[in-house]
Amino acid sequence: MATGTYAFGASVMTVEATQQSTDRLLHSLEQAFGSDVIITDPDITVGYERDESRFTHSHRPSAVVAPQTRDQVVACMELAHEFGVTVVPRGAGSGLSGAANGRGDSVTLSLHRMNRITAIDPGNRTVVVEPGVVTADLRAAVAEAGLYYPPDPGSVDFCTIGGNIATNAGGMCCVKYGVTADFVLGLEIVLADGRVLRTGRRTVKGVAGYDLTRLFVGSEGTLGVVTEATLRLVPRPCPAQTLVASFPSLESAGVAVSGIVERGFTPSMLEILDRTTIRAVDDLTKMGLGTDVEALILAQSDDPDATDVLAGIEKICVAAGATDVVASDDPAEGSMLLEARRMALPALERLGDWLLDDVCVPRTQIADLISSIQEIADRTKLTIGVFGHAGDGNLHPTIIYDEKDTESKQSALNAFDEITSRALELGGTVTGEHGVGHLKKRWLAEEQGPVGMDVHRAVRQALDPNGTLSPSVLFESEEQ
Ligand SMILES: Cc1cc2nc3c(=O)[nH]c(=O)nc-3n(C[C@H](O)[C@H](O)[C@H](O)COP(=O)(O)OP(=O)(O)OC[C@H]3O[C@@H](n4cnc5c(N)ncnc54)[C@H](O)[C@@H]3O)c2cc1C
């Protein structure tokens, strides 16, 4: 066995002591619930080593605990607290910041088996779910009741509600409907010591006490484990109409986006794809999006007056220099274009090694951000695919590089830093939706400043003084 030490909270344990503590935890869980809840086969636990991020530290977890009930989560956390074992909660592992990555000294707590939709309440427009429900399944289930759950990350078909809550996931709907936080009314949380906390409410309004629900949304598994969520639903909207505009330059598409926002339009989707992304998607899907197009804007409206909304957006696109604008009220065509957008990351992945950024600026600054990314790409000679939720000011510049070439790798990291820094200069944030995880710890400190980080640490210390939950996420000084 390897020797060494692991630090967590205030204490330091040897590798041997950590393994013994983990063994005791697993043994106790097995005694109480049977061997089904525990996975130690290294061929399987290796699948829990990392999420979908790059450039993030990861290790095969010492074991995976896969509970089916809240009581099993409680037992796991009580035992982890008692024996000093660290725990990393995990949903589907689709995260893009490394927050669900395993640690060699930690147990990964995979919530994927807790996947029941407990109650849909059409009268109050709410749904109660367990954390392992796949987001697309939830959306389909409530649609049958004539209701709509808007959050739709690009990973909607495989990510989980628990992961969405813990990352405050966004998606294409945010420009009109907001982010996951806007739909979470209340949570059931198992705290780091195993106590069960209920936050929030099931009512439309409610102001009793601090807004603990919001505190846990976006906490990336560092403050507690979500075991149940009460979510707000809205009436099912009209079928969306879609518009696609082609531009002769990425900058002119950026100007159109700023114009659409400034003029007060609220499309239900406003996405942008640059030439690199369009070509990559075309190569993968053979959709024929256009070989001579420099940028595309995809807009949808699900308002009753969608035709007028899209006509207004069309005018702004043409004024900004769009060379071609096509509108369609055919839902099948709309879904196909949406699929093209969802394929952006998988398509860019095929171009080489990649480093994905996620920055968000005030929406009227989107054209400036785009110009800066173009300038960085030209200067560094790197291919940077740009796509994202332009209507929110949230872009995902994807830097393509060669992992085997040290210079190319360093250049990619420098470009990543430059883009992130530029977003801050423009009054934006270092992460619009993917979270801090491991990838952006330095940048969190940069954005929050010393007082902001002190408050973050105080909150964490109050809820998890031993550093049991995800000890290497968010905070720079904590051990990797
Ligand atoms: C192709 C692709 C497209 C994507 N598109 C988008 C997008 O449009 N918008 C967007 O926001 N994200 C997007 N993502 C990122 C990712 O899908 C989201 O961050 C998603 O919310 C993660 O969900 P998950 O279930 O996979 O969580 P995981 O990756 O397993 O975990 C993410 C975080 O949540 C924590 N966590 C998970 N479950 C719980 C729980 N029950 N209690 C406490 N903490 C928990 C983990 O510890 C970790 O911190 C995309 C990813 C991919 C691969």
64 secondary structure, DSSP code: E
Q: How many other C-beta atoms can be found within 10 angstroms of the C-beta atom of residue 14?
A: 13
Kindly report the backbone phi and psi dihedral angles of residue 48, in degrees, each rounded to the nearest multiple of 5, phi listed first.
-105, 10
Residue 154 alpha carbon, nearest atom of ligand 1: 5
Pairing of strands 106-110, 63-65: parallel
Pick from 52, 69, 167 the residue to mutate for probing ligand 1's pocket: most ligand atoms within 8 Å of its CB.
167
Q: Is 159 in the pocket of ligand 1 (CB under 6 A)?
A: yes
Q: How many other C-beta atoms can be found within 10 angstroms of the C-beta atom of residue 317?
A: 28
CA distance 480 to 473: 8
- Could you state, in order of their start, the residue ranges of all structural domains in the chain? 117-235, 241-425
55 secondary structure, DSSP code: S
Cα-Cα-Cα-Cα dihedral sign, residues 371, 375, 376, 381: positive
Return the pLDDT at 12.
56
| Ligand 1: residue whose CA is nearest its atom 49 | 220
CA distance 42 to 67: 19
Residue with tokens 């075309």: 282
Per-residue pLDDT tens over the stretch 14-45: 778 888 999 999 999 999 999 999 999 999 99
CA angle 333, 160, 466 (to 5 degrees): 150
Q: Is 433 in the pocket of ligand 1 (CB under 6 A)?
A: yes
| Predicted structure pTM score | 0.94
Q: What is the DSSP string of 221-239?
A: TSS-EEEEEEEE-EE--PP
Return the pLDDT at 240.
94
> What are 46's two structure tokens?
């290796």
Query: Ligand 1 centroid to 83 CA: how many Å?
Result: 28
Query: Ligand 1 centroid to 155 CA: how many Å?
Result: 8
Is residue 110 within 8 A of residue 48, CB to CB? The reply is: yes
Q: Is 334 in the pocket of ligand 1 (CB under 6 A)?
A: no
CA distance 188 to 19: 30
Return the pLDDT at 206.
87
Return the pLDDT at 2.
36
Is residue 281 within 8 A of residue 401, CB to CB? The reply is: no
Query: Ligand 1 centroid to 93 CA: how many Å?
Result: 6
Per-residue pLDDT tens over the stretch 238-267: 999 999 999 999 889 999 998 999 999 989
Query: Ligand 1 centroid to 293 CA: how many Å?
Result: 32
> What are 105's two structure tokens?
């000294």
Query: Ligand 1 centroid to 160 CA: how many Å?
Result: 7
Q: Is 102 in the pocket of ligand 1 (CB under 6 A)?
A: no
> What are 81's two structure tokens?
């607290």
> What are 50's two structure tokens?
């990392």
Q: Nearest-CA neighbor of 164 among 86, 216, 113?
A: 216
Q: Is 467 in the pocket of ligand 1 (CB under 6 A)?
A: no
Q: Nearest-CA neighbor of 153 among 134, 127, 132?
A: 134
Query: Ligand 1 centroid to 225 CA: how many Å?
Result: 14
Residue 221 alpha carbon, nearest atom of ligand 1: 44
Pick from 49, 96, 468, 469 the residue to mutate for probing ligand 1's pocket: most ligand atoms within 8 Å of its CB.
96
Return the pLDDT at 280.
94
Q: Is 472 in the pocket of ligand 1 (CB under 6 A)?
A: no
Q: What is the DSSP string of 230-283?
A: EEE-EE--PPPEEEEEEESSHHHHHHHHHHHHHTT---SEEEEEEHHHHHHHHH
> What are 270's two structure tokens?
């406003």
Q: Is 84 in the pocket of ligand 1 (CB under 6 A)?
A: no
Residue 422 CB burial class (10 angstroms; 0-12, 13-18, ≥19): buried
| Ligand 1: residue whose CA is nearest its atom 21 | 164
240 secondary structure, DSSP code: P
453: Cα within 13 Å, side-chain hemisphere: 15
CA distance 65 to 87: 9
User: In sequence order, what E strands does 293-418 have?
Assistant: 295-301, 324-328, 353-356, 359-360, 383-385, 387-389, 394-395, 398-401
Q: Nearest-CA neighbor of 90 among 118, 114, 57, 71?
A: 114
> What are 71's two structure tokens?
């009581």
Query: Ligand 1 centroid to 330 CA: how many Å?
Result: 31
Query: Ligand 1 centroid to 433 CA: how many Å?
Result: 9
180 secondary structure, DSSP code: G
Domain 241-425 homologous superfamily, CATH: FAD-linked oxidase, cap domain/gating helix (3.40.462.40)
Residue with tokens 């289930």: 141
Distances (CA, A) of 13 to 63, 87, 89, 99, 359: 18, 15, 21, 23, 37
Q: Is 66 in the pocket of ligand 1 (CB under 6 A)?
A: no
Return the pLDDT at 100.
98
Return the pLDDT at 337.
86
Return the pLDDT at 364.
85
160 secondary structure, DSSP code: B
CA distance 137 to 122: 17
Per-residue pLDDT tens over the stretch 106-160: 999 999 999 999 999 999 999 999 999 999 999 999 999 999 999 999 999 999 9
Pick from 76, 94, 440 the residue to mutate for probing ligand 1's pocket: most ligand atoms within 8 Å of its CB.
94
Pick from 56, 57, 90 the residue to mutate for probing ligand 1's pocket: most ligand atoms within 8 Å of its CB.
90
Is residue 456 within 8 A of residue 222, CB to CB? The reply is: no
Query: Ligand 1 centroid to 94 CA: how many Å?
Result: 5
Task: Render each residue's pLDDT in the chain as its tens digit; 480 residues.
Answer: 333 444 444 445 677 888 899 999 999 999 999 999 999 999 999 999 999 999 999 999 999 999 999 999 999 999 999 999 999 999 999 999 999 999 999 999 999 999 999 999 999 999 999 999 999 999 999 999 999 999 999 999 999 999 999 999 999 999 999 999 999 999 999 999 999 999 998 888 889 999 999 999 999 999 999 999 999 999 999 999 999 999 999 889 999 998 999 999 989 999 999 999 999 999 999 888 877 899 999 999 999 999 999 999 999 999 999 999 999 999 888 888 888 888 999 999 999 999 999 999 998 898 899 999 999 999 999 999 999 999 999 999 999 999 999 999 999 999 999 999 999 999 999 999 999 999 999 999 999 999 999 999 999 999 999 999 999 999 986 444
Q: Is 471 in the pocket of ligand 1 (CB under 6 A)?
A: no
Q: Is 392 in the pocket of ligand 1 (CB under 6 A)?
A: no
What's the whole-number average pLDDT of the chain?
Answer: 93
Q: Is 184 helix (H, G, I), strand (E, B) or coil?
A: strand
Return the pLDDT at 256.
94
Query: Ligand 1 centroid to 301 CA: how many Å?
Result: 26
Q: Is 397 in the pocket of ligand 1 (CB under 6 A)?
A: no
Q: Nearest-CA neighbor of 465 among 193, 74, 109, 105?
A: 193
| Range 117-235: architecture per CATH | 2-Layer Sandwich (3.30)
Return the pLDDT at 4.
45
